[in-house]
């Protein structure tokens, strides 16, 4: 099956919107958990969104990109949903990200 570029872009955009919606709903999942399991988190997704905007010459800043992903200002999300990482989460992060040093 062949999909034209416009349709592929629309499908990718729909998948992105669904991922963002899912992450907004799952406020119980901390960014460190996402990083430990998948190697990316909401902040990474925000940076990728920002990079895509910059590649197209759009004037977007990191805070606006984060708000797109988090659905609210990052500071608000942090105060409502972010918890302190446990020693176990921090240790897992160190192990899973050794190759990034």
Interior angle at CA 43, CA 38 and CA 49, nearest 5: 100
Q: Name which of 42, 70, 65 is nearest 55 in CA terms.
A: 65
| Model pTM score | 0.88
pLDDT tens, position by position, 25-52: 999 999 999 999 999 999 999 999 999 9
Ordered per-residue pLDDT tens for the chain, 101 residues: 899 999 999 999 999 999 999 999 999 999 999 999 999 999 999 999 999 999 999 999 999 999 999 999 999 999 999 999 999 999 999 988 876 65
Q: State how far the Cα of 25 lies from the Cα of 18, in Å rounded to an integer.
A: 10
Please report where in the chains the tokens 């989460």 appear, as a residue: 89
Instruction: Tally the residues of the chain.
Output: 101
């Amino acid at each position: 099956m062949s999909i034209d570029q416009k349709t592929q872009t629309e499908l990718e955009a729909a998948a992105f919107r669904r991922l963002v919606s899912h992450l907004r709903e799952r406020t119980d999942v901390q960014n460190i958990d996402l990083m430990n399991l998948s190697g990316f988190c909401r902040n990474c997704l925000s940076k990728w969104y920002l990079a895509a905007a910059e590649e197209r010459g759009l004037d977007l800043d990191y805070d606006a990109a984060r708000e797109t992903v988090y659905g609210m200002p990052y500071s608000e999300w942090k105060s409502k949903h972010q918890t302190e990482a446990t020693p176990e989460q921090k240790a897992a992060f160190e192990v899973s990200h050794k190759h990034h040093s």
